[in-house]
């Protein structure tokens, strides 16, 4: 009789532990999917440092060209 009791107790304990472990694994999988989606969305909305530097360089080059044109204009009118 005692053996049946311990068999039942151990079965219940292992079943509970297995259920909890499975639930945690499913939660980790769910969080991994959400993290991947977040990373994909971030990539759509934000630019990289290289892109920012390239854009800033283009703007600075255009400003230098405008500055040179203004300097020539000012020299003609003085």
Rg of the chain over all Cα atoms, to the nearest angstrom: 33
pLDDT in tens, the chain (78 residues): 788 989 999 999 999 999 999 999 999 999 999 999 988 888 778 888 999 999 999 999 999 999 999 999 999 987
Give the pLDDT confidence score for residue 53 in this predicted structure.
96
Q: How far apart, in Å, do the first and last CA atoms of the chain sit?
A: 113
Per domain, the residue ranges of the chain are: 1-46, 47-78
Give the pLDDT confidence score for residue 39 in this predicted structure.
86
User: What DSSP state is assigned to residue 33?
Assistant: H
């Amino acid at each position: 009789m005692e053996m049946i009791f311990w068999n039942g107790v151990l079965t219940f304990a292992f079943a509970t532990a297995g259920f909890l472990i499975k639930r945690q694994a499913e939660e980790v999988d769910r969080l991994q999917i959400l993290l991947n989606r977040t990373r994909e969305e971030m990539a759509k909305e934000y630019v990289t440092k290289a892109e920012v530097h390239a854009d800033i360089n283009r703007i600075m080059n255009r400003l230098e060209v405008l500055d040179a044109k203004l300097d020539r204009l000012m020299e003609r009118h003085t």
